[in-house]
Amino acid sequence: MTARNTLTEVPPYAVEGAIKRLGQNLRTARLRRNLTIQEVADRIGTGMRAVADAEKVEGDDRHRRLYGSALDL
């Protein structure tokens, strides 16, 4: 039996807070640029759900990195 890494299940409190702030910052940046979720999704070549998840805690880090890159375009 292999050992389970609990960090993959629930991130530490500080990490979870940082992820939440990042999602809020992504949403703020999108709104300041007057972009819709669909427009950001089109820029990064993904679906609206991935963008919405990136703005929430449910999104994974990969979506946030792509999303942040799209806002630089």
The type of residue at 23 is G
> Is 5 among the domain residues?
no
- Domain with 17, as residue range(s), is 12-72
Structural domains in the chain (count): 1
> Is 1 among the domain residues?
no
Task: List the CATH number of the domain containing 51.
Answer: 1.10.260.40
> Is 7 among the domain residues?
no
Identify whether the C-beta of residue 20 lies closer than 8 Å to the C-beta of residue 28: no
Q: Which class for 12: exposed (0-12), middle (13-18), buried (19 or more C-beta within 10 A)?
A: exposed
Which residue has 């759900």 as its token pair? Answer: 49
- pTM, entire model: 0.64
Helix (H) or strand (E) holding 41: helix 37-44
> Is 60 among the domain residues?
yes
Which tokens sit at 11? 């991130």
> pLDDT digit of tens for each residue in the chain (73 aa)?
677 765 556 667 777 788 788 889 989 999 999 999 999 999 988 899 988 888 886 655 665 666 666 666 5
